[in-house]
Structure 1
Amino acid sequence: MSSFGLGAKARAAGYRLKGYDAIGSTNSEALAAAATGDPGGIWFAALQQTAGRGRRGREWLSPPGNLAASLLIIPETTPELVATLGFVAGVALNRALSLVLPVGMVRIGIDGADGADGRSRIALKWPNDVLADGAKLAGILLESAKTPEGASAIIVGIGVNVVAAPQGVPYPATSLRALGVQRTAQDVFEALSDAWVDTFALWQDGACVDRVLREWRQSAAGIGAPVAVSQDGSVRRGIFETIDASGRLVIRDDDGARTVITAGDVHFGATASARS
């Protein structure tokens, strides 16, 4: 078993942890725990995944030394608010990175052009990625399952490229090591486990999701800049105006009309501005 450890806040809050050197998928392990009636509040963390997955069933490659972590929780809230847990995870991860990375690498606040193109320091990308210099550094995946008692269990999966970025993927990717940061997956996880406690408390079972979304916007990549959203083979372009109270992407076209996007793949820069 690996040398992962919970942060002091996470331990005090009663969270539990199972750590691994290598595992097929931390999300799968958490789903299995939910199926056997685990009460939740348990992290599964690994230095390597051999069968990880991302959004829409895509493979999530995780070589040795990277962080794969999944949290099993059983929140008491509505399905609509459960969907905003991805933003809770994004804010928590952003807070954790602000603790383990050199000062100035993590964006704080929307300050003019800084981060507007998604290529400045570290920023959150809608709906569930973390970017560094415009390249993917981390990803988040929510999955759900039913407990034997019929309760809705949620798995919050988080993967961070600590020592290496995956090769052969259809998007730019980077790692903490490539950024010149010599921290371990254990360092990132300990900070993440504590940051989750504070951010989840801020969310308050969805009652204060507006506070979480406000903080997410402050560290967002691309607000105010051109964006392209791919959905089932079609592409919608415009200006990334904001995310609404439900966490949906709001874009404005050339005529000023606003469109609300629930799901899709987001692109910034030249791809967003191009016209076919």
Structure 2
Amino acid sequence: MGWPDGYGRRVLAEVDSTNAEAARLAPGLAGPEWILALRQSAARGRRGRAWVNPEGNFAATLVMPAREAPDRLALRSFVAAVSLHDALARVIGSDAGLALKWPNDVLLHGGKLAGILLESLGGPGGHLAIGIGVNLVAAPDRGQVEPGAVAPVALWPETGVRVTPEALLMALAGGYAGFEAQFTTYGFDPIRTAWLARAARLGEVVTARTAREEITGTFETVDAGGNLVLKTPQARHAIAAADVFF
């Protein structure tokens, strides 16, 4: 799979974070562009959490014009997740052990292999940054993640497969372009179907921890708005934002 038409590519030896670089570059970009950093000095995850990113791991951001409503832009996290799952399966040579954890993680053998972070840049009419981090060679120590969270894993120790960041970017960019075209043409439904087919713990009991409450119920589906739907004995809950614990 070659590099997709219409997408720029920028490979940096080092940067503070690829999402920060995307914010700096966005005003001068005419179209979507991938930014890959071979080393990050100040990587970030969700809610401002530090993201441990040693050299050899994958750190990239896709920055693209944001010409849609915020709720539709947010669905790009599912486009990115399905694309990343399939790119990893391609470079590994198998999708065995890979699964997607709502809202934005890729799991390998039950451990967290990758995370996705969406950020809005410049307000309405600005840009969207889709940041992606993958533990290709090393994972954070278990003690560096919050209690109860999925333990981090890395690709090489888990599978014996060595993949360079550049090789993963090539697989990911081509796959993302295909799913993005599907999303813009047919809407969220085919992406939602593809995501659910790769989902971890679908039909099982999970716990969603929001800023206000904790809900434990059966993971029933993801709805048309991208919300996690949990069924409890009392009700069905559509959850827009939460950390999910198994």
TM-score, normalised relative to structure 1: 0.83
Q: After superposition, where does 1:48-59 map in structure 2 within 5 Å?
A: 48-59=39-50
- Displacement of 1:104: 4.4
| Structure 2 length-normalised TM | 0.93
Cα distance in 1 for partners of 2:136, 2:37 equals 12
Residue 245 of structure 1: SS of its match in structure 2?
Answer: coil
Query: Contact 1:141/1:158 (CA < 8 Å) preserved in 2?
Result: yes
| Structure with greater Cα Rg | 1
Which amino acid letter does the alignment assign opposite residue 136 of structure 2? V
Separation in 1 of the partners of 2:169 and 2:19? 15
Contact 1:9-1:197 at 8 Å conserved across structures: no
Q: Say yes or no: does 1:261 pair with 2:239.
A: yes
Q: Is the 8 A contact 1:229 1:235 kept in 2?
A: yes
CA distance in 2, matches of 1:228, 1:103: 29
Please give the per-residue CA displacement for 1:150-182, whole angstroms capped at 9, x wherever unaligned: 623100111110000012222300010111222
Q: Return the offset for 1:232.
A: 2.1
- Where does residue 110 of structure 1 map in the other structure? none
Is 2:172 the partner of 1:192? yes
Matches within 5 A, 1:87-236: 87-105=78-96, 121-146=97-122, 151-167=125-141, 168-170=144-146, 171=149, 172-179=151-158, 180-204=160-184, 207-232=186-211, 234-236=213-215
Structure 1 residues 75 and 201, CA gap change in structure 2 (3 angstroms):
farther
Separation in structure 2 between the aligned mates of residue 9 and residue 68 of structure 1, nearest angstrom: 18
Cα contact 1:227–1:237 (8 A) shared by 2: yes
Kept in 1, the 8 Å contact 2:89–2:98? The answer is no
Letter of the 1:153 counterpart = H
- The answer to whether the Cα contact below 8 Å between 1:55 and 1:141 also exists between their aligned partners in 2 is yes
Inter-partner Cα distance in structure 1 for 2:41 and 2:175:
27
Unpaired runs of 5+ in structure 2? none
* Correspondence 1:62 to 2:63: no
* 5+ long unaligned stretches in structure 1: 1-6, 106-120, 269-276
- What is the identity, as a one-letter code, of the residue corresponding to 1:156? I
Q: Deviation string for 1:108-127 (max 9, x for gaps)?
A: xxxxxxxxxxxxx1100000
| Residues 25-44 of structure 1: pairs in structure 2 closer than 5 A | 25-34=17-26, 36-44=27-35
Counterpart-to-counterpart distance in 2, 1:55 and 1:39: 27
- % of aligned pairs identical? 40
* SS of the residue 1:151 aligns to: coil
In structure 2, relative to structure 1, the CA distance for the partners of 1:201 and 1:215 (3 Å cut) is same
Q: Aligned AA for 2:224?
A: A
Task: Determine the structure 1 residue equivalent to 2:6.
Answer: 14
Q: As a proportion of its length, which structure holds more helix?
A: 2
Give the superposition deviation at 1:75. 4.0
Paired letter, 1:30? A
Q: Contact 1:91 / 1:215 at 8 angstroms: preserved in 2?
A: yes
Deviations 1:63-88 (A, max 9, x none): 00001000110143222111100000
| 1:110-150 deviations in Å (ceiling 9; x for gaps) | xxxxxxxxxxx110000000011111100000001128xx6
Which amino acid letter does the alignment assign opposite residue 32 of structure 2? G
Deviation at residue 233 of structure 1 after TM alignment: 5.8
Give the superposition deviation at 1:243. 0.4
Secondary structure at the counterpart of residue 55 of structure 2:
coil
